[in-house]
Structure 1
């Protein structure tokens, strides 16, 4: 048995050994028809909920209430929605839009838009650009066994934006790669921090959103139907985290997660043949 086969065998055995807990999403409301593809959401300190949509939609952020109804929309100046995939916010109230969706792993224009707290008060907020590239990617697109560079999840922590890539490899490896970039305008080569094996089921183990709790003790990685809760880590090394898997028992296209408080998650899904276009709450034990 060669070394590569042995590694994949160990990964598969580990995945089987991981206990999965059942979670129940409580519906809060339904988004209007103009928000069919919510791909990211974030909650401000004062409880305001902001959402974005992904590729093919407007260069806007939307403030919604707990029922999903639109209360305000802001067009982001100097920003183009190539594929907006996640939202996050820092402790000072600055908002970050992840324009790093990259289904074919062919993009060379990855960017995170930073909208400062002061700009959030304007009708058309101006955005700073944090441009970046992945040091491991040299081909656009790479070979099928190296399709690690789509991204749909990130969060802010201690002056950095932590990025978790969406795995599209063939054969599927179940890993997400972890990077970080500074939270300041500029052009960067992302710092590679390691990889994290989630599980080997392609339908449930690819990261579609991420967030960290206000107390900075828990990371939530969302996938299609699963949430992976990471604890017992010391930033910036998340590779040795304890992982709890929660099965959300849904077939909708779940794309967004954020912490409302340390023990409560907000989750949103896009509309597909199974339903969706809803805003949910998940209470954590």
Structure 2
């Protein structure tokens, strides 16, 4: 009798787990639009140009190139940034004029002193397969050359947006123990050397760092919504004042199963696109969500003082 009870319990538990996993898989893949060309297996940033065509960049290891995609995910055009290097390209954003910014600021070991952002012309104006960038350099004034302690390793970056005449950088937290805080830094949007100004912080979660890392950011075209991406969710900020992005309402949108989600952007004020990297046959896709058709869970704002 005991063995039979254990067997029944095991079947019930297995069925519940299967249903939960199945639901999570459906949550993600029901939003899939297209798979991207295998050459873009490590997409780290995406943007739509003014003609609503999707552009993408690869993570480190690729040439300093942008790729424009066809509707079927194949590559329509490649543009080489002739005066750039791809040390660790991690995100792409644009300002209201359509200039693209490419963030070469990945800093996994928290040991890069100077980080780089490349600013290029509006891609719809690039007539050839090459372009040249303005070069924006920045450093963290808090760093004095001393070894960074494990609980202070919050100088990696994979996310930024353009707002007004500035760029806002959201850190990828690598603290030990992990405290879940993303810091926001501010630099200018033009060629110069900047000390990044720490202006705000937001705590995502502290359960597992790989589930809470911020890997990309985007502002809606009307500049009224900010989206931050992690491996399972979109953090959506609305009703904020000026550049105080965390001063308004905060919502969380479940994206289903864990994949390496690395890039996010807005197609329009109600539509978000995001991508994940391909890993062992999983991922490598573009997904779309409509904000008026998904469940947005309002969360209690965790708004710590900048660390």
Shared fold, TM over 0.5: yes
Measure the CA separation in 1 of the matches of 2:147 and 2:32.
39
Is residue 188 from structure 1 mapped to residue 194 from structure 2 by the alignment? yes
Partner in structure 2 of residue 31 of structure 1: 36
Measure the CA separation in 2 of the matches of 1:194 and 1:139.
23
Measure the CA separation in 2 of the matches of 1:140 and 1:40.
32
Greater helix fraction, Structure 1 or Structure 2: 2
Is residue 281 from structure 1 mapped to residue 280 from structure 2 by the alignment? no
- In structure 2, the CA distance between the partners of 1:215 and 1:43, relative to structure 1 (3 Å rule), is same
How far apart are residue 135 of structure 1 and its match?
Answer: 2.2
Q: Is the 8 A contact 1:23 1:246 kept in 2?
A: no
Is residue 127 from structure 1 mapped to residue 133 from structure 2 by the alignment? yes
Measure the CA separation in 1 of the matches of 2:210 and 2:101.
28
Q: Is the 8 A contact 1:263 1:283 kept in 2?
A: yes
How far apart are residue 235 of structure 1 and its match?
Answer: 2.3
Measure the CA separation in 2 of the matches of 1:141 and 1:26.
44
1:45-64 alignment, distance < 5 Å: 45-64=50-69
Aligned residue for 1:85, secondary structure, equals: strand
Is residue 253 from structure 1 mapped to residue 290 from structure 2 by the alignment? no
Partner in structure 2 of residue 241 of structure 1: 248
Q: Which moved further from structure 2: 235-244 or 92-101?
A: 235-244
How far apart are residue 254 of structure 1 and its match?
Answer: 0.5
How far apart are residue 34 of structure 1 and its match?
Answer: 1.3
Partner in structure 1 of residue 214 of structure 2: 207
Q: Is the 8 A contact 1:88 1:156 kept in 2?
A: yes
Aligned CA RMSD, in angstroms, stands at 1.7
Is residue 217 from structure 1 mapped to residue 214 from structure 2 by the alignment? no
Q: Which moved further from structure 2: 236-245 or 147-156?
A: 236-245
1:5-16 alignment, distance < 5 Å: none
Q: Is the 8 A contact 1:106 1:140 kept in 2?
A: no
Measure the CA separation in 1 of the matches of 2:49 and 2:270.
16
Measure the CA separation in 2 of the matches of 1:198 and 1:206.
8
How far apart are residue 139 of structure 1 and its match?
Answer: 4.1
Q: Number of paired residues?
A: 264
Q: Is the 8 A contact 2:237 2:246 kept in 1?
A: no
How far apart are residue 274 of structure 1 and its match?
Answer: 6.3
Measure the CA separation in 1 of the matches of 2:228 and 2:102.
17
Partner in structure 1 of residue 162 of structure 2: 156
Measure the CA separation in 2 of the matches of 1:184 and 1:78.
16
> Which 5+ residue runs of structure 2 have no aligned equivalent?
1-25, 293-307
Measure the CA separation in 2 of the matches of 1:196 and 1:185.
28
Measure the CA separation in 1 of the matches of 2:86 and 2:147.
21
Q: Is the 8 A contact 1:229 1:245 kept in 2?
A: yes
Larger Rg computed on CA atoms: 2
Aligned residue for 2:126, secondary structure, equals: helix
Deviation string, structure 1 residues 29-60 (Cα, Å, up to 9, x no partner):
11122111000000112101110001111110
Q: Is the 8 A contact 2:49 2:122 kept in 1?
A: no
Q: Is the 8 A contact 1:52 1:87 kept in 2?
A: yes
Which structure is richer in relative contact order (CA contacts within 8 A, separation 6 or more)? 1
Q: Is the 8 A contact 1:133 1:189 kept in 2?
A: yes
